[in-house]
C-alpha cells in the first residue's frame, strides 16, 4: 500500500465538491490506519531504482497529464515486484507492471 494512494483517498473522501456530506478527516484517517494495520498490508515506498523506472515509463509512453501520477505508482509497484490492484484498466499500458482488477 502506497501512502501516496492513501493521501489521494483522503483528498477525495473529505472533499465537499465531491460529496455533499464529505467524510471527516478523523474518520478518513482512522480508515487509513485500519488499512495500514491489516496483517496483509505491505507499505511500498520509492526505492533507489524508482526514479529510473518512472523516467523510463514516462519517456517510453510519452506520459503527460493524468498518466504521470499513474506512471509514478506503476514504477513503485514494478520496483517492489508487487501486483498493483486497481479498477483502472489504463494501468495495462505500463510494461513490466503486474496488475489485476480490485474485484
Q: What is the mean pLDDT of residues 77-98?
A: 96
% the chain with pLDDT above 90: 94
The pLDDT value given to residue 103:
82
Phi-psi group of 33: left, alpha or beta (phi > 0 → left; psi -120 to 50 → alpha; rest → beta): alpha
CA pair distance 70, 18, nearest whole angstrom:
21
Regarding predicted confidence, which is higher, 40 or 96? 96
Q: Does residue 100 register a pLDDT over 90?
A: yes
Q: Are 44 and 2 in contact (CB under 8 A)?
A: yes
Confidence at residue 32, expressed as pLDDT on a 0 to 100 scale: 97
Phi, psi (deg, nearest 5) at residue 93 = -70, -15
Backbone phi, then psi, for 20, in 5-degree steps? -60, -40
- Count of other CB atoms within 10 angstroms of residue 64: 9
Alpha helices in the chain (DSSP H): 3-13, 25-37, 50-61, 67-80
Mean pLDDT of the chain: 96
Q: Report the C-alpha gap between 47 and 37 in whole angstroms.
A: 22
pLDDT digits (tens, 9 = 90+) for 44-85: 999 999 999 999 999 999 999 999 999 999 999 999 999 999
What cell numbers appear for 71 in the block?
Answer: 506512471
Query: Is the pLDDT assigned to residue 102 strictly greater than 90?
Result: no
Amino acid at each position: 500500500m502506497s501512502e501516496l494512494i492513501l493521501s489521494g483517498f483522503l483528498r477525495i473522501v473529505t472533499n465537499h465538491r465531491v460529496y455533499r456530506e464529505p467524510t471527516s478527516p478523523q474518520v478518513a484517517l482512522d480508515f487509513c490506519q485500519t488499512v495500514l494495520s491489516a496483517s496483509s498490508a505491505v507499505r511500498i515506498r520509492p526505492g533507489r531504482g524508482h526514479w529510473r523506472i518512472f523516467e523510463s515509463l514516462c519517456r517510453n509512453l510519452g506520459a503527460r497529464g493524468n498518466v504521470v501520477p499513474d506512471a509514478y505508482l506503476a514504477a513503485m509497484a514494478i520496483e517492489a515486484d508487487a501486483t498493483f490492484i486497481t479498477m483502472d484498466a489504463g494501468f495495462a499500458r505500463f510494461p513490466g507492471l503486474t496488475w489485476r482488477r480490485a474485484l
